[in-house]
Structure 1
């Protein structure tokens, strides 16, 4: 008798969520409301279109491929010629092409419409649902423009190409290309954040403004950019220089890539260690004022760090929400179980606070560019506050969202480990937590307009919530006491960040969101996500945060 053949029943797939794509990355009430409130409502149709593209299977596959097939360094060609090029997967190039075409790099500087910079940051918040690594050259190219304006003759040549919406990869003489990307080289192995200890030397050539560099850089990301702003020691002190990869005569400028960094996350983006030896460089800004010149770049890239972390939070929330809406356990959907609802709602208010703050900072940046001195003062201190806090919250957020998927979230196929590894980056890039906390103290001490601008923003919500009022009063007391200021810097900046987020939420978010945030962020909540009080309107919070999967 022939053996009985049993059906392949053990491999029947049940109780697993369907693929999340396609989804709409712009289906976020906090994002769209902030876009309109900060003066870029005219861009809403484009943001919605870009959000649908970001959540498409095609774009999500580009992201997965760019992460999986990492960049490869080619120091020499087949004949032995030094080329120092990095090869990227086609998925990376697809992401870059869309990002630049949509204005996520430098295009806002060429757009005269009020709100142009807000529209850019909204674009980052939705297109960032794809893959974070390619956001690095977007950020640096955007940030290079105001720094380069310290040298008008160079800005006249390169700014039109840095603000282009055309992705034109490959090393060629910059002015022959349809669009340029810019990077930055600041840190060295012996100094890190203390750039004044840099040893890279800049020697004048005798030609006005032209020097040759000799030295190294420890972290220079996106080495296939066309131009780099680099700090080096000139005879007059630490100065900022423009270093093109290809010289005006078409020859390669010495830019010896020693290796690519083996990083925890952000692996689609090449981070390198270049060495300079007779490298031609053009002075940007006054000699000896390199930090002051390049700080224009840092102020911009720090806001991109805030946006990057806010985007990661939102993406992680969407992934967690999708899973719990389609997974059952113990006889009910996870989304319908009270404790899971508490966790997800707590994540949702954290995400909304981060998104709302990002867009408020983007609005301040946009208005500062247009000459608003009050917004300039607010932007300077509030960006450092936001950089410290939002980027610090991202790793905790990613871990909790991953846990919502249980063991599935710990598997690479889910995409959650990629988010988890990415989460710490923005807290480190452009100044660690300590650097940004101390920068807040520095601004408070040096800029007499900073504290009034910040307090005006906080107190504009006075009377809306007694817990916020008490927090603002306590902040006023702490600001007036300089004792052990550096030791207490993190505590002060944390309180400032929470008060700033609460002030925005009580003015602009629904009561369910604002009340839950104030109830838990001002001493009444637990230390982990999912500790909202029983009185919190979980349904109101979740209906707002996750409209598509309910």
Structure 2
């Protein structure tokens, strides 16, 4: 029918290489991981292909289902996933996104893994949750050398072996974490779950966990109150004798986003756990896991921003309005360039932090990660909203994929500590490790003299840090300034002139509260070209 002729619609963005990302590839090469580029490109082409994109769509439209009992009334506590979920997990594990750096001493191993996580996470963010936690669990597991010797090879295996069986009999394992409780949230020291010594080296755990990530995992790292204080335990789903550990899945959370991934409330009913570290050292032990998952929060937010910027540029390239392509409208160019600049700033700092993991720069990483976790994850929801708006009404419908991006965006700012927790953690790091402040400024001031706007921002920051009055009240503004100075320094040193100039001219100068308020003179054409993938 003539009334149904389709015109001025945008072709799907499919068949491209998601890894064709200038900021990402530059970071890969800068931090000793250029050897991983061929595999990253293979993964990028898979991520940009029609098959993987269909996997991501379907698993979010068919979320996991909890089965507490079998047909006969026996308690089974199992989670059923769409088969495509297992396809996504298989690819992630095969490419080592879950644990490869711990099994290799190769320079740049953490950077290579971060780049692959960033690329593959753009297909579906939900399944990267158990992948991230498995990556993060291994350093904490090493607090018990005997358990590490038994399980680390299986956790770092590149075989995805789904199903509840005795862990030692499987060809690969996935780990989760179980920390928060309904009365405490981020205040894990308020946890009430108890751990009683059984006399054989194990403990019996009793309590309710409010938000247990990836409940289908083979084992959890969990916190409980032992006689000596809050402690960390390894709690498997299946015990060595083949019986189910009494971990009851009460319900799955009905979440805003992250629909493909299961998150559960669970109860331990005398569940068996093995200690990781000494009694009372639970926070110190599990914080090693948290610090690694926080890096993945930054990576996930950066990946979402890159996805949104690419989709916005693609749409406006093919869509016309008022007699011209949207891309050619001056105000739209301002918006698009601003989105690309924000995405590149996030990607560049994420890769720098991954590089710090490889190079053992723990003092810098401690503070750099805290400020970046706060700021990059805070920017992601605003970025997603603006990218969606570039598609107009087409972006508001589910088929575009943008609503899924929008729903996903707030998660990274909440997971592993909300904005306030991240901001206060920055203050705590500066107070407890003053050397981390020196390491931070040593990093930032490598760009000294290259851009006067950045120099002025760093000078203001030093002045603000010298004033301790009401510092908790001012923490968000202070941490934002630290994050911007770090991003600006990295872009001035390593980014293209157009991106660095646009960042410094707006974030340290004349910039409004919304995206699309870049000052005149920014080379928007050069900036936007960095988000063109086809």
Q: TM-score, normalised by structure 2?
A: 0.99
Choose which of 520, 530, 537 in structure 1 pairs with 2:523.
537
| Alpha carbons 2:44, 2:120 under 8 Å: kept | yes
Question: Which whole-Å CA distance do the structure 2 matches of 1:476 and 1:320 have between them?
Answer: 37
Superposed, which structure 2 residues align to 1:386-425 within 5 Å?
386-425=372-411
Give the CA deviation at 1:448: 2.5
Match of 2:111 in 1: 118
Q: Classify the secondary structure of the residue corresponding to 2:447.
A: coil
Question: Which whole-Å CA distance do the structure 2 matches of 1:419 and 1:539 have between them?
Answer: 25
Match of 1:16 in 2: 9
Render the CA deviation track for 1:245-303: whole Å, top value 9, x for unaligned: 00000000011000000000001000000100110000000111100000000000000
Q: Classify the secondary structure of the residue corresponding to 1:218.
A: strand
Q: Classify the secondary structure of the residue corresponding to 2:525.
A: helix
Choose which of 201, 205, 208 in structure 2 pairs with 1:213.
205
Question: Which whole-Å CA distance do the structure 2 matches of 1:318 and 1:50 have between them?
Answer: 18
Asked if 1:59 corresponds to 2:59, the answer is no
Give the CA deviation at 1:233: 0.2
Asked if 1:224 corresponds to 2:210, the answer is no
Give the CA deviation at 1:13: 0.6
Choose which of 310, 325, 332 in structure 1 pairs with 2:317.
325
Asked if 1:382 corresponds to 2:368, the answer is yes
| Alpha carbons 2:313, 2:528 under 8 Å: kept | no
Question: Which whole-Å CA distance do the structure 1 matches of 2:460 and 2:145 have between them?
Answer: 46
Q: Which moved more, 1:524-533 or 1:256-265?
A: 524-533
| Alpha carbons 1:71, 1:269 under 8 Å: kept | yes
* Number of equivalences: 534
Match of 2:505 in 1: 519
Question: Which whole-Å CA distance do the structure 1 matches of 2:179 and 2:246 have between them?
Answer: 17
Match of 1:351 in 2: 343
Render the CA deviation track for 1:133-180: whole Å, top value 9, x for unaligned: 001001100000000111111100000011111100000000000100
Question: Which whole-Å CA distance do the structure 2 matches of 1:26 and 1:385 have between them?
Answer: 26
Unaligned segments of structure 2, at least 5 residues: none
Question: Which whole-Å CA distance do the structure 1 matches of 2:401 and 2:530 have between them?
Answer: 24
Question: Which whole-Å CA distance do the structure 2 matches of 1:113 and 1:219 have between them?
Answer: 35
Choose which of 160, 181, 186 in structure 1 pairs with 2:179.
186
Unaligned segments of structure 1, at least 5 residues: 1-7, 369-374
| Alpha carbons 2:108, 2:358 under 8 Å: kept | yes
Render the CA deviation track for 1:438-463: whole Å, top value 9, x for unaligned: 00000000013200100000111000
Superposed, which structure 2 residues align to 1:96-495 within 5 Å?
96-208=89-201, 210-368=202-360, 375-495=361-481
Question: Which whole-Å CA distance do the structure 2 matches of 1:534 and 1:482 have between them?
Answer: 37
Give the CA deviation at 1:225: 0.3
Give the CA deviation at 1:523: 3.2
Question: Which whole-Å CA distance do the structure 1 matches of 2:129 and 2:18 have between them?
Answer: 20
Q: Classify the secondary structure of the residue corresponding to 1:253.
A: coil
Question: Which whole-Å CA distance do the structure 1 matches of 2:176 and 2:308 have between them?
Answer: 28
Render the CA deviation track for 1:50-93: whole Å, top value 9, x for unaligned: 00100100000000011000100000111111010000001111
Give the CA deviation at 1:468: 0.5
| Alpha carbons 2:18, 2:533 under 8 Å: kept | no
Aligned-CA RMSD value: 0.7
| Alpha carbons 1:161, 1:178 under 8 Å: kept | yes
Asked if 1:37 corresponds to 2:23, the answer is no
Q: Which moved more, 1:335-344 or 1:264-273?
A: 335-344
Render the CA deviation track for 1:319-356: whole Å, top value 9, x for unaligned: 11111111011111111111111100000000000000
Q: Classify the secondary structure of the residue corresponding to 1:219.
A: strand
Q: Classify the secondary structure of the residue corresponding to 2:233.
A: strand
Give the CA deviation at 1:128: 1.2
Question: Which whole-Å CA distance do the structure 2 matches of 1:546 and 1:337 have between them?
Answer: 17
Question: Which whole-Å CA distance do the structure 2 matches of 1:142 and 1:280 have between them?
Answer: 23
Render the CA deviation track for 1:163-211: whole Å, top value 9, x for unaligned: 1111000000000001000000110000000000100000000112x10
Question: Which whole-Å CA distance do the structure 1 matches of 2:525 and 2:378 have between them?
Answer: 27
| Alpha carbons 1:444, 1:450 under 8 Å: kept | yes
Question: Which whole-Å CA distance do the structure 1 matches of 2:530 and 2:377 have between them?
Answer: 23
Give the CA deviation at 1:544: 2.4
Question: Which whole-Å CA distance do the structure 1 matches of 2:16 and 2:496 have between them?
Answer: 24
Give the CA deviation at 1:38: 1.0
Q: Which moved more, 1:424-433 or 1:519-528?
A: 519-528
Question: Which whole-Å CA distance do the structure 1 matches of 2:137 and 2:32 have between them?
Answer: 24
Question: Which whole-Å CA distance do the structure 1 matches of 2:278 and 2:84 have between them?
Answer: 41
Give the CA deviation at 1:547: 4.7
| Alpha carbons 1:73, 1:259 under 8 Å: kept | yes
Question: Which whole-Å CA distance do the structure 2 matches of 1:183 and 1:510 have between them?
Answer: 39
| Alpha carbons 1:107, 1:162 under 8 Å: kept | no
Question: Which whole-Å CA distance do the structure 1 matches of 2:306 and 2:526 have between them?
Answer: 18
Question: Which whole-Å CA distance do the structure 1 matches of 2:301 and 2:226 have between them?
Answer: 36
Question: Which whole-Å CA distance do the structure 1 matches of 2:529 and 2:213 have between them?
Answer: 40
Question: Which whole-Å CA distance do the structure 2 matches of 1:67 and 1:46 have between them?
Answer: 26
Q: Classify the secondary structure of the residue corresponding to 2:434.
A: coil
Give the CA deviation at 1:480: 1.4
Question: Which whole-Å CA distance do the structure 1 matches of 2:5 and 2:17 have between them?
Answer: 30
